[in-house]
A and B are shown apart, each in its own frame.
Chain A
Amino acid sequence: LKELPTDPEFTSFKNHLLRQLYQTVKLDEITIPSYLKATESEVDRILKLAIIQKESHSTILVGPRGGYKSFLLSHTLAKISRKYDNQYITIRLNGYVHSEQTAINGIATQIEQQLRKINASRNNSKKESVDISSGSLTEVFEKILRLLDSATFNTERPSDKRKNKDTSKITVIFIFDEIDTFAGPVRQTLLYNLFDMVEHARIPVCIFGCTTKLNFLDYLEKRVKSRFSQRIINIPQIKTLKEFSETIKESLIVPDSESNAKDRQYTTQWNETITNIIQDDNSQLSKILKTNFETFKSMDRLKYSMVPFIHSSPSFENLLSELHSCNQIIEYETNQRTNDLTGKVRSLSDLELAILISTARAAMKTKDESVNFNFAYAEYEEMIKSLNVRIPTMVHSNSSESKNSIIVDNAIKLWSKKDIKNIWESILSLDLMAEKGNVGLRESAIAVFYASNYQFQGTMAPFDLRLYQMQVTLQELRKIVPRSSIYYPWTQL
């Protein structure tokens, strides 16, 4: 576990590369994929309209997970904030973290914090202590509404006058993640009020919502929909393999800048190699790119698979050779798959496999493919008995007086029903079987609460009568179990 030997310049190059993959490099060095450039300028335009021109807007960004929605917003905001830092406050809400009720408090707290920060930076006396977040929920909501909706915002104005010459108002930018959770089936009060502000408030309010739902507009109530400005930005997707590898190339190429000047010796060589490898259709990396494009089309997965080898390379030559062979990327991908059904079945002991096969056989024989412990054990017993009959080396010593002393040496042991219960439970815990009619993980905390107050029929029944369903069928088992296994012939009815 010892640390790797370090060449400081190489280490800093490596770290820069990793930062680039995580997109945590300095603001100017962040490369935005070229297929997103148009979208970025659109977002930029809307934000600048809101912050500089003080216009009110509402926009929804629609795109799949990992589609750079939040990234585009925060990146553009960060760029703007360098020039117009005090012109706006940002309020971030997340549909997972905030509910309709708590979002109100969340908004209040964030307004308070942000205003305090702006006031502090304008170093005026803290005479107007913004106190929004205290009080009951209705009070808080009223305060927010009054603050955002009306002219009482002049608590802020005098300070503006003193510092900035123009009397511009502060733009409030709302960023909603998972805005579809606020557009629930009942009421949608929060969205109604906020969209209403966009229309009527005297201070500029800009609302950005990110969602993955393509039919987001159908979620909205009629009155909410009519207040929304109908601007929906669909985040573009990568369409071709060429675009995909181009994007990967962009994110891997290290730009020449002052900050990484000292490892320039590596930069040029690295960029050259990357370009060559990606252009070469027969290279290992291009093959991996192609597989990824045709299966996941996930930039994140590809990037994360590169992290281990970039980090662990002891030298630059090693890094380049790893890039050529891609062994560690393949290793990462293999590791991701070791815990799937196949991996689990392969990791079973022989007894566990025997029980799994006999359970699958028993399940095949029933009408609704459900099985209980009794059936599985009966099947197992039958299987072992007929296996033992067929084993030629076993000699029945029927001649002597003891009938029940079989020569066990060559026979396969038939475990008792009591012992098999342990196996049954471990197959269950491996998720190779599931209780019949089991709902599994509930969607929300409320559903969990209801479920935990309900006693299920299955838990009442005795152990060996509970009904289960297989997660892996006999046909699938036949493909997984190696032909050399003695149980292989039993993977067929």
Chain B
Amino acid sequence: MVAVLHRDYQIKALRAFIQKDAALVPPNMIIEGHTCTGKTHVLTQFFQIHPDIITSWVRPIELVSWKPVLQAVARSVQNSLRATYPGVQSEEFDPLDVEEAYLLVKFLTNLFEEYSSLSEDRTLFVIFDGLDSLEDLDAMLLLKFLKLYELLPETSRIKLKFIYVVQNSAFVSRYASYGIPSIVFPIYNIDEVTDIIIANRAPELWESSCLHDQLQSQNIVNCTTEQLYSLVVNFLQLIIQSFGSYTGNNISSLNDFIDFKWEDYVKAITPQNVFEPVQLYRCTSKLFTNTDDTLSTEDENIHNNTNDAGQQDSNSATQTYELSNIAKYLLISAYICSYMEPKYDPSVFSKKTHLRSGRSAYGRRKKKETNPRYIQPSLFVIERLLAIFQSIYPVETNSESGSLASLKEDHLMRSNVEVFQNISELYDLKLLGTTMTKNIDYLSFKLKWKVNVPWETINEIASSVNFELGQYFSSIHE
């Protein structure tokens, strides 16, 4: 049996509320606590040392909707009864018949009747492990189970009791007036997390093959067990100290970091630093300063390159999106449309010399207080997108300037078939959005568009085509 740390009160309370004698048990009970607070662990340990209590576990997270939950209750109750009393000749009922809440009552009534020949009353605990992680959860579902015991026959030998394991405290407080006893599992504090992690992980890491291989390859043989143990504990503490604030008091994410960094840490062990924690930390300090919590190597590179900018050029070759050039410029102009006001467009984009009289736009007088990039994109009409696209899209002229051929050539990009194709493709890729309606009519004049990428992405796209997007926004806020 694994020791349970820092859950003394909870175990005491569990022992008081969960008993063999059905008369000493409340019909419903809630176990409440955030993720990684040891709810399921404590419960399983508890029932392991009380094998005389019949349990059946239901995991709503796998069951998605209310109907499978009802069927799972029926199935698991029947299964655990059959497993406990193999001697009782009982008819097998089909749990898939349970299609309504009252059919569950009927099913259980019929099932318990088969066991009416038992010599003593037995308590059966149905444990909903994570009731609020049910995908299609609604407020009525818990109420159905809360009142179930009133509808079951009082005379039956099997007494059904329900334990709900719930993460969300807001969910529990909806049912506060029903007077259900609850045991709260609070979030561990950092000391408790340290204790638990050291107790659970140290033996495992200590025996890990990569550590022993490394020690052998480095020819470190004069190692006592205590020294090895302190090496492991030191590593665990380093991980907790450097990433504790990043993960919060979440044991499973810390465990991920441990698994993720342990091998690299072990590789740095040499005969010189094996007994010198400080030196070993210096060799491996990179492991403890970066989370490396990503799957793309590119992100990692950028992260590393913040101190030496020389390498950046080689990385810009790999881009976030492999879009066509037109699509990239379309996306950039969509971003401009969404985040710059239309009334300043003439002052920003107008380049033509004026043949007719008229003053040009003055532009923005005062800078904005909030950075527009932080707020949600605003809507624009498609014509504005095409206009800005035309004004920013570079068209290289092949012909010599002044020649006759140059008269025939367009100096501006026209909205040809490819442009519209690319727009609709960007919409399908969810990089452009529209006002949400079903069955959108693209050709309708009412339809408005918006961009659906954050600044980081668009900036990367812009730099891949050497477009200085930042300049357009520097005059607005920064």
Q: Which residues from chain A sit less than 8 Å from chain B, CB to CB?
A: 1, 15, 18-19, 22, 24-25, 64-66, 70, 74, 92, 94, 96-99, 102-103, 105-106, 109, 113, 177-178, 298, 300-301, 304, 307-308, 310-312, 331-332, 335-340, 343-344, 347-352, 372, 374-375, 378, 404, 415-419, 422-423, 426, 429-431, 440-445, 447-449, 452, 455, 457, 460-465, 467
Contacts and interface: CB of A to CB of B under 8 A. Distances in A.
Interface stretch (B163-171, B208-216, B229-237, B326-334): B163-171
Contacts of B413: none
B307 interface: yes
Contacts of B135: 452
17 contacts: A19-B24, A65-B179, A301-B179, A308-B12, A335-B10, A335-B184, A374-B371, A374-B455, A378-B371, A422-B253, A422-B291, A422-B293, A426-B248, A441-B138, A445-B136, A460-B433, A464-B454
A312 B15 contact: yes
A105 B102 contact: yes
Contact of A312 (B12, B24, B141, B248): B12
A294 to B, nearest CB: 17
B169 to A, nearest CB: 5
A461 B377 CA distance: 9
Interface in B181-215: 181-190
Given A98-B102, A431-B170, A343 B291 contact: no
B178 A24 contact: no
B24 A419 contact: no
A332 B13 contact: yes
A347 B189 contact: yes
Contact of A335 (B9, B21, B103, B188): B9
B150 A94 contact: yes
A460 B66 contact: no
A214 to B, nearest CB: 15
B278 interface: no
A342 B375 CA distance: 30
Contact of A92 (B144, B150, B377): B150
A258 to B, nearest CB: 18
B106 interface: yes
A351 B184 contact: no
A462 B454 contact: yes
Nearest to B189: A347
Given A19-B23, A335-B9, A441-B137, 10 more contacts: A24-B22, A64-B177, A102-B101, A177-B147, A335-B183, A347-B188, A349-B244, A422-B246, A426-B248, A465-B454
B184 A312 contact: no
Contacts of B245: 349-352
A interface majority secondary structure:
helix
B26 interface: yes
A441 B139 contact: yes
Contacts of A343: 186-187
B105 to A, nearest CB: 6
B49 interface: yes
B102 A461 contact: no
Nearest to A18: B24
B249 interface: yes
Contacts of B109: 113
Given A97-B148, A426-B248, A298 B179 contact: yes
A336 B184 contact: yes
Contacts of B182: 336
Interface of B: 4, 9-13, 15-17, 21-26, 32-35, 45-46, 49, 66, 100-103, 105-106, 109, 135-141, 143-144, 146-148, 150-151, 168-171, 174, 177-179, 181-190, 244-250, 253, 291, 293-294, 299, 303, 307, 371, 373-377, 430, 433, 436, 452-456
Nearest to A371: B374
B35 A429 contact: yes
B436 A311 contact: no
A308 B8 CA distance: 12
B150 A177 contact: yes
Contact of B106 (A109, A452, A462): A109
A304 B181 contact: yes
B24 A348 contact: no
A96 B374 contact: no
Contacts of A429: 34-35
Contact of B138 (A98, A301, A336, A443): A443
B451 to A, nearest CB: 10
Contacts of B246: 349, 351, 415, 419, 422-423
Contacts of A419: 246, 291, 293
Contacts of B169: 339-340, 431
Contact of B151 (A18, A92, A304, A431): A92
Contacts of A467: 376
B26 A22 contact: yes
Contacts of A443: 138-140
A349 B190 contact: yes
Nearest to B34: A430
Contacts of B377: 465
Nearest to A443: B139
Given A347-B189, A443-B138, A423 B454 contact: no
Contacts of B4: 1
A312 B24 CA distance: 13
Contacts of B100: 99, 102
A456 B144 CA distance: 29
B147 A444 contact: no
B186 A447 contact: no
Contact of A1 (B49, B103, B147): B49
Nearest to B308: A404
Contact of A460 (B23, B247, B253, B430): B430
Nearest to A449: B136
Given A177-B147, A441-B139, A444-B140, A344 B187 contact: yes
A422 B16 CA distance: 38
Given A96-B144, A348-B248, A448-B137, A339 B21 contact: no
Contacts of A378: 371, 374
Contacts of B250: 426
Given A96-B147, A423-B248, A307 B17 contact: yes
B13 A444 contact: no
A430 B168 CA distance: 8
Contacts of B140: 96, 443-445
A343 B109 CA distance: 42
A109 to B, nearest CB: 6
Contact of A106 (B13, B16, B102): B102
B102 A102 contact: yes
Contacts of A311: 15-16, 24
B26 A462 contact: no
Given A1-B11, A418-B299, A419-B291, A349 B249 contact: yes
Contacts of A447: 138
B33 A339 contact: yes
B357 to A, nearest CB: 42
Nearest to A420: B246
A441 B171 contact: yes
Contacts of B186: 335, 338-339, 343, 347
A298 B21 CA distance: 25
A99 B72 CA distance: 21
A444 B138 contact: yes
